Chain A
Amino acid sequence: DVKVTQSSRYLVKRTGEKVFLECVQDMDHENMFWYRQDPGLGLRLIYFSYDVKMKEKGDIPEGYSVSREKKERFSLILESASTNQTSMYLCASSLQGTGVLEAFFGQGTRLTVV
């Protein structure tokens, strides 16, 4: 079974703090993704990575950065947390190529910025 593990289920941080969300996958997937999910807005892509040290902006990258130093690990960084970054953050991974590209998700990190 593919497993995508996010380091925390719940996190509370103060405004202005630097926040690290970690994600690890154990299936040697090339692609990794960070989404945030908010009521009425669905999953919005923040950043994705298709290889080690490679990253591309998604639809809402502002206020975030990412790091992929190893294939199995993809970190999301909030440089200076703000209250509008309170959200559910979901990490996912998938294989590359054509055909069925199933994305496997972690269980999510609910981040509250106070």
Chain B
Amino acid sequence: RKEVEQDPGPFNVPEGATVAFNCTYSNSASQSFFWYRQDCRKEPKLLMSVYSSGNEDGRFTAQLNRASQYISLLIRDSKLSDSATYLCVYCPHSSASKIIFGSGTRLSIRP
């Protein structure tokens, strides 16, 4: 079983819609979680951290559910510029030197 699993998509939604996707992880000792964004032919970049209490940054909300071992990303009022691949990321140890990426969920926002 993969350490991190994501629905590859693509999610194709109209501009202004709300879209959400999840990522499940298998290592219950995982400590730190993140969402990264990768644009086409570009390197991944940190979008936001994920905390148990939830984390909101503008139109983006990230949640962590430790009991069910998944994290989620919600995008409200989606924009054309949100089209990208969203990567679920976790660090299996609290003093992490290892960073594990999911295979990504592709999101396409249409006008």
Using CB atoms and an 8 Å cutoff, list the residues of chain A in contact with chain B: 30-31, 33, 35, 40-45, 48, 50, 56, 58, 90, 92, 94, 96-103, 105-108
Give the docked Cα–Cα distance between A102 and B101 (Å).
Answer: 12
* Number of CB contacts from chain A to chain B under 8 A: 68
Total count of chain B residues near the partner, CB < 8 A: 26
Given A33-B99, A96-B95, 16 more pairs with CB closer than 8 A:
A31-B97, A43-B87, A48-B99, A58-B98, A90-B44, A92-B99, A94-B99, A98-B32, A98-B94, A101-B32, A101-B96, A103-B36, A103-B44, A105-B44, A106-B43, A107-B42
* Cross-interface CB contact of B99 among A30, A99, A101, cutoff 8 Å: A101
Q: Contacts of A41 on B, CB cut-off 8 Å?
A: 103
Residue B91 CB within 8 A of the other chain: yes
Given A43-B44, A90-B43, A98-B32; A103-B99 close (CB under 8 Å): yes
Determine if B103 and A107 form an interchain contact, defined as CB atoms under 8 angstroms apart.
Answer: no
Closest to B91 in A: A101
